[in-house]
């Protein structure tokens, strides 16, 4: 039985990861300060002998005997990470520093949840791991982008200097059940708006693109990355290469939900990346991984989920 620490475990992705790790017979400690996650996301796991929920802020050191760490703590929605940007940087930088210290002391493997945001507003398309990115260091997204870049840098220094077994994944836009109704990211916004019959808010002209990955595909990739041979550090992109404009996404959601919503256009936030699509050749080669769930299938799941949540 492995002792596994999941920071940010009560968040959207973390809760799916905890569920899978518990189901596979591991002893999971889920660490969260409930900044953007909630107990409700892991309610169904509480009481399971393989699951422990701990309220803790990763900017403070944490001690336990651990075999593996999945470091996910950090708000991921622009609305949440920009609400308290200094805390966002502290969470990424000091939080990752604390978790690397724990990994070093306990000789645990550590998987760092990095992001496609390290590529910023990319000048190269699609994005492969060797691309260094195009990030504004002083803008409103910097707390997240630069925080995550610094966290990657710390991982590789701990690997080079202290031989910590680090595994860095760069996650591309991921969606699925348990995103919060007020999360603010585009998939949950559009689905919730359509189900409520409210206007669908496209920021900018809607020609910007994203590539959307369903959460179960990501969790599979994370588990494979953790199990990859020692010395394979990444960084490795985990995302679905299917690329869509925000207009295409809005139209898909509208055609699936039906109803009376209409599309409205609102100002584009500063530094909003114009396009994003992962090159996943490395994940295919090293992890034998590729996503299985199409946007159409995933949207059906999410619509069913939010329909139920909104009917409560």
Residues labelled as active-site residues: 144
- Smallest gap from Cβ 116 to ligand UDP, in A, equals 7
User: Quick one: which of 4, 45, 53, 75 contacts ligand NAD (CB under 6 A)?
Assistant: 75
Q: Which residues between 151 and 180 bind ligand NAD (CB under 6 A)?
A: 171, 173-174
Binding residues for ligand UDP, rule CB under 6 A, total 13
Any contact of residue 210 with ligand UDP (CB under 6 A)?
yes
Any contact of residue 95 with ligand NAD (CB under 6 A)?
yes
Any contact of residue 33 with ligand NAD (CB under 6 A)?
yes
Distance CA 182, CA 80 (A): 10
Give the torsion through C-alpha atoms of 196, 202, 207, 208, to 10 deg: -100
Q: Which residues between 160 and 179 bind ligand UDP (CB under 6 A)?
A: 173
- DSSP characters for 57-103? -TTS------SEEEE--S--SHHHHHHSHHHHHHHHHHHHHHHHHHH
Phi-psi map region of 204: left, alpha, beta (phi>0 left; psi -120 to 50 alpha): left
Any contact of residue 78 with ligand NAD (CB under 6 A)?
no
DSSP character at residue 5: E
Stretch of 35-43, 125-133, 199-207, 220-228 contacting ligand UDP, by CB under 6 A: 199-207
User: Quick one: which of 59, 82, 136, 201 contacts ligand UDP (CB under 6 A)?
Assistant: 201
User: Quick one: which of 67, 220, 248, 272 contacts ligand UDP (CB under 6 A)?
Assistant: 272
Q: Do 140 and 133 contact (CB within 8 A), yes or no? A: no
Give the torsion through C-alpha atoms of 147, 148, 154, 159, to 10 deg: 180
Single out the residue of 179, 200, 184 nearest to residue 81, CA to CA: 184
Any contact of residue 11 with ligand NAD (CB under 6 A)?
yes
Kindly report the backbone phi and psi dihedral angles of residue 269, in degrees, each rounded to the nearest multiple of 5, phi listed first: -65, 155
Site string for ligand UDP, 134-153 (x = CB under 6 A): --------------------
Distance CA 156, CA 173 (A): 24
Give the footprint of ligand NAD on this chain (CB under 6 A): 7-8, 10-14, 32-37, 57-59, 72-76, 80, 91, 95, 113, 115, 171, 173-174
Q: What does the binding site for ligand UDP look like in residue numbers (CB under 6 A)?
A: 78, 173, 185-186, 189, 201-203, 208, 210, 246, 269, 272
């Amino acid at each position: 039985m492995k002792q596994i620490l999941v920071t940010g475990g009560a968040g959207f992705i973390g809760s799916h990861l905890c569920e899978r790790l518990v189901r596979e017979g591991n002893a999971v400690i889920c660490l969260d300060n409930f900044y953007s996650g909630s107990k409700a996301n892991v309610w169904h796991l509480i009481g399971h002998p393989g699951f422990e929920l701990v309220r803790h802020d990763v900017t403070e050191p944490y001690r336990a005997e651990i075999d593996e760490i999945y470091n996910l703590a950090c708000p991921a929605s622009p609305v949440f990470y920009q609400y308290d940007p200094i805390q966002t940087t502290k969470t990424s930088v000091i939080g990752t520093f604390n978790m690397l210290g724990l990994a070093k002391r306990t000789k645990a493997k550590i998987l760092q949840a990095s992001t496609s945001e390290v590529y910023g507003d990319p000048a190269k398309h699609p994005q492969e791991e060797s691309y260094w990115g195009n990030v504004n260091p002083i803008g409103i997204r910097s707390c997240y982008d630069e925080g995550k870049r610094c966290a990657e840098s710390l991982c590789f220094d701990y690997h080079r200097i202290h031989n910590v077994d680090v595994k860095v994944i760069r996650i591309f836009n991921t969606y699925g059940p348990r995103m919060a109704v007020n999360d603010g990211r585009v998939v949950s916004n559009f689905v919730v708006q359509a189900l409520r019959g409210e206007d669908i808010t496209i920021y900018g002209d809607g020609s910007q693109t994203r590539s959307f990955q369903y959460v179960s595909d990501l969790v599979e990739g994370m588990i494979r990355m953790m199990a990859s041979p020692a010395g394979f550090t990444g960084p490795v992109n985990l995302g679905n290469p299917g690329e869509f404009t925000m207009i295409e996404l809005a139209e898909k959601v509208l055609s699936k939900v039906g109803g009376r919503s209409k599309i409205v256009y609102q100002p584009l936030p500063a530094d909003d990346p114009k396009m994003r699509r992962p090159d996943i050749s490395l994940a295919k080669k090293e992890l034998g991984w590729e996503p299985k769930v199409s946007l159409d299938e995933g949207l059906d799941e999410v619509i069913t989920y939010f329909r139920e949540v909104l009917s409560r």
